Copies of this chain bind each other. A is one copy, B any other.
Amino acid sequence: MDLLNQTMGALRVDKATLHDQVVARIRDLIVEGALTPGSRIDESALIEQLGVSRTPFREALRTLAAEGLVEIRPTRGSVVRKLTPDEVFSMLEVLAQLERLAAELACKRATEDQIASLLAMHDEMLVYYEKRERMPYFKLNQEFHRGIVGLSGNPVLVEIHGNLHARLKRIRFVGNRGPDFWADAVAEHEEMALALRARDGAQLGEIASRHMVNTWTRVRDAVS
């Protein structure tokens, strides 16, 4: 997103290296559920499917392990990291605090244009909600939250927030199944848009944080 690039600085053009491609590919397989949490990662099967050798594949596993998506057990193979309910709660607890910070910084540092662009995104989300189109809404929702964090102007915050989001993405996705919950989430977003328009950082932070904690009740049943 352009919004992000603005704050993140130089967008790198360099051709995606094989390593990055494999990382992205496996990450997708995990997020989309092709590789299920707790299941063993069959190296030989995957390298064949991906058409790469073990070297870039294993390096990819190392970075995914560092990202927390994969667990490498010495001499015993790798598994898709399985999140316990406690861990999910812990992540949301941290995310809530990070979004609170992001909200305050964004209200302090963002330009009017940037805020307007975020509000436009919010309006667009509402349209999808009216039409009950879950998938586009879901994607825009991710973008919206990423957008606020991006406007904080804090690259470290962006990075960490992005990582936690990636780890939770799958769970969030499956937890997005109740219409009742959906309405609640939309209402919270409405509040956030109001606070954002008013540049009320404390208020926005409060809502964003509450929004995140509420996510817990929305996804808790989805956690194995």
- Listed in ascending order, the chain A residues whose CB lies under 8 Å from chain B are 14-15, 17, 19, 55, 58-59, 62-63, 65-68, 74, 86-87, 90-91, 93-94, 97-98, 100-101, 105, 154-157, 159-160, 164
**Could you tell me the distance between the alpha carbons of A67 and B66 in the complex, rounded to whole angstroms?**
7
Q: Which residues of B contact A68 (CB under 8 A)?
A: 159
Known A94-B154, A94-B156; further 11 A-B contacts with Cβ < 8 A: A17-B74, A19-B62, A58-B59, A62-B62, A66-B66, A66-B67, A90-B156, A93-B101, A93-B156, A94-B160, A97-B101
Q: Which residues of B contact A157 (CB under 8 A)?
A: 90, 93-94
24 sample A-B contacts, Cβ–Cβ < 8 Å, listed by A number: A14-B74, A15-B74, A17-B74, A58-B59, A59-B62, A62-B62, A62-B63, A63-B63, A68-B159, A86-B155, A87-B155, A90-B156, A90-B157, A91-B156, A93-B101, A93-B154, A93-B157, A94-B98, A94-B154, A94-B157, A97-B97, A97-B98, A97-B101, A160-B160
Q: Which residues of B contact A164 (CB under 8 A)?
A: 156
Q: Which residues of B contact A90 (CB under 8 A)?
A: 154-157
